[in-house]
Copies of this chain bind each other. A is one copy, B any other.
Amino acid sequence: MGDTLEVETAPQCQAVNDILARVGDKWTVRVVMSLAEGSSRFNELRGIIPAISQRMLTRTLRNLERDGLVTRTVTPTVPPRVDYALTPLGQSLVGPVAQLGNWALANIAEVERSRRRFDAEGPGV
């Protein structure tokens, strides 16, 4: 009982859920984790996360910038150079997200076993 959780009674539930949804979207965690190891340029990130489309990388980074989790630094050369980096706020998110990520890694096997069991017995019963 060490840690209390004041999550469910506040009207801020909406706001919290909003954050959770951002973290839960398809690419945010990947991008944040990549930037946690150092700032990167746009196409560097595309190399690190090959599956992401240009469009979604742009959108994800814009959202993170809007939320104050990432800085976008434009160097107006030719060709242009843009560097992305985590803000202190963004860095403070890495720990909690990693916790959840580690939980997922540790338990994904059991979850998938459960899913197969559920899907198998469903029609039968």
Contacts and interface: CB of A to CB of B under 8 A. Distances in A.
Contacts of A96: 96, 99-100, 102-103
Q: Do most interface residues of chain A lie in helix, strand or loop, or is the interface mixed?
A: helix
A20 B17 contact: no
B15 A33 contact: no
Interface residues of A, number: 56
Given A24-B23, A66-B114, A12 B103 contact: no
Identical chains in the assembly = 2
Interface string A76-95: 00000000000001001111
A7 B46 CA distance: 17
A68 B6 contact: no
